[in-house]
A and B are shown apart, each in its own frame.
Chain A
Amino acid sequence: MIEQIVFYFFGGVLLLSASMVVIMRNPIHSALLLVLSFFASAAIWLLLQAEFLAITLVLVYVGAVMVLFLFVVMMLDINLVTVREGFTRFLPVGITVAVLMVAAMGLVVSSDYFMSDTYMVIKSIGPDYSNTKELGLILYTQYLYQFEIAGAILLVAIIAAISLSMSKSKVNKSISSEEQVIVKKTDRLRVIEMKAESNIQSKKI
Chain B
Amino acid sequence: MSSIRLTIAGEPTLFEGRYVCSLLEHLHVPQDGRGIAIAVNDVVVPKSRWSEHELREGDHIEIVKAVQGG
The answer to whether A and B assemble together is no
Interface residues of B (CB under 8 A from A): none
Interface residues of A (CB under 8 A from B): none
